[in-house]
Amino acid sequence: MKAVGADKPFKLNEGNQFYEMKQEMPQPKQRELLVRLKAISVNPVDTKIRQSPLNEAPRILGYDAVGVVEAVGDAVKYFKAGDEVYYSGSPAYQGSNQTHQLVDEQLVAFKPNNISDTEAASLPLTGLTASETLFDVFKISHNPEDNKGKSLLIINGAGGVGSIATQIAKHYGLHVITTASRDETYNWSKSLGADIVLNHKNNLADEFKKYEISEVDYIFCTFDTDLYYEKMIELIKPRGIIATIVAFNNKQDLNLLKPKSITFTHEYMYSRPLNETEDMGIHGEYLKDIADKIEAGIYKPTVNKVINGLTADNIYQAHKKIEDQSMIGKLVISI
């Protein structure tokens, strides 16, 4: 089998350190599936992990995959050879930048049957991140009627996570406010169901006044938490909840949360598989829910760029595109 990896951490200005290699075909054990991959996507987390220390070389990145099950472990319950599946896997395994991959079946769901492999590859990591944030962190109801009157601000609504979070939140009854600045990102966010799109180049407090928004119940930050930390505290309702997927680079004053009794959470969708929690099978459940909504025409895929071919150069170019921070939606590689 073929894989693309690197032997050391590197920054893009050091040149392309990715290389193509041949690997032995792994054999699934217990609840593992061996999947022949057909499409993968590249996420900001790939670019961050690429630059982090590694324990063992080579490191194969990639945390989204669509493919066909080729073999199953002896304890697998829900899948068989020939099934088309999609998932985001676990950092405990080598990533999806390869032609075949092992994955625990608890993290997997059947691929939506009405979209292409490349479209399906745009959904797992961002869909899981959005689902955990909305249902586990904000604890919104699965009954849309219960969420009526609740408001959500998504910072960077046109990004990969923002694109699917907008759709899920809107379907489940929230009033969805996003941020964007360019015409294309504004239009993209509106097309996904955002009720209001604010210009993040302006002061968001002024944007709130412009659209007669007072405060919001929930804020989901998917871009530069340091930049927005104090502004989010200003805009959230008392006893509101703020979640971010972007780690702080600077020290911040948590005491600022106290006057409004704000709950602040770092969301990391790999915390379940990395810690092998008893409920990590919820990843498969969330992916099934997303697939059901895709098949019903309620959600739509968020892919906006496709690169053909699993090569070291294509992986490198994909990382460049992600780090340019100009992507709308998701970037997918067809294998």
Same domain for 70 and 15: yes
Task: Provide the mean pLDDT of the chain.
Answer: 97
Residue 149 has pLDDT above 90, yes or no: yes
Q: What is the pLDDT of residues 175-195, one digit of tens each?
A: 999 999 999 999 999 999 999
Q: Which of 222, 250, 266 is the last residue of a domain?
A: 266
Give residues with Cβ within 8 angstroms of 164, minimum separation 6.
Answer: 123, 126, 127, 130, 290, 299, 302
Overall average pLDDT of the 191-204 stretch:
97
Looking at residue 209, what is its pLDDT? 97
Overall average pLDDT of the 9-38 stretch:
97
CB 263, CB 242: distance < 8 Å: yes
Residue 134 has pLDDT above 90, yes or no: yes
What predicted TM-score, i.e. pTM, was given to this entire model?
A: 0.96
Overall average pLDDT of the 212-234 stretch:
97
Residue 121 has pLDDT above 90, yes or no: yes
Q: How many residues does the chain have?
A: 335
CB 273, CB 300: distance < 8 Å: no
C-alpha 110/C-alpha 288 separation (Å) is 7
Q: Which of 223, 239, 266 is the last residue of a domain?
A: 266
For 143, list phi and psi in degrees, rounded to 5: -100, 110
Tally of CA atoms within 13 A in the half-sphere of 240 that contains its CB? 20
- Reported confidence tier of residue 326, pLDDT bands at 50, 70, 90: confident
Looking at residue 277, what is its pLDDT? 96
Same domain for 330 and 292: yes
For 8, the token pair is: 């050391």
CB 1, CB 7: distance < 8 Å: no
CATH of residue 193: 3.40.50.720
Beta strands in the chain (DSSP E): 2-5, 19-22, 32-42, 65-72, 84-87, 100-104, 108-110, 151-155, 175-180, 196-199, 216-221, 236-244, 263-266, 303-308, 330-334
Phi-psi region of 139 (alpha: psi -120 to 50; beta: other; left: phi over 0): left
Same domain for 165 and 108: no
Q: What is the pLDDT of residues 245-298, one digit of tens each?
A: 999 999 999 999 999 999 999 999 999 999 999 999 999 999 999 999 999 999
Number of folded domains that form the chain = 2
Q: In the chain, what percentage of residues exceed pLDDT 70?
A: 100
Same domain for 146 and 96: no
Same domain for 133 and 119: no
- Note down the domain range covering 206: 126-266
- Reported confidence tier of residue 229, pLDDT bands at 50, 70, 90: very high
For 219, the token pair is: 């804020």
Overall average pLDDT of the 65-91 stretch:
97
- Reported confidence tier of residue 327, pLDDT bands at 50, 70, 90: confident
For 248, the token pair is: 């702080």
Same domain for 25 and 90: yes
Same domain for 300 and 233: no
For 4, the token pair is: 């693309």
- Reported confidence tier of residue 318, pLDDT bands at 50, 70, 90: very high
Looking at residue 218, what is its pLDDT? 98
Instruction: Tell me, rounded to whole angstroms, the distance of Cα 90 from its chain centroid.
Output: 13
Q: Which of 242, 266, 290 is the last residue of a domain?
A: 266
Looking at residue 325, what is its pLDDT? 83
CB 236, CB 219: distance < 8 Å: yes
Shortest CA distance to 45 belongs to which of 326, 321, 319?
A: 319
Q: In the chain, what percentage of residues exceed pLDDT 90?
A: 99
- Reported confidence tier of residue 64, pLDDT bands at 50, 70, 90: very high
> Can you list the alpha helix ranges (DSSP code H) found in the chain?
44-50, 117-120, 124-131, 144-147, 160-171, 183-191, 204-210, 225-235, 271-275, 282-295, 312-323
Looking at residue 22, what is its pLDDT? 97
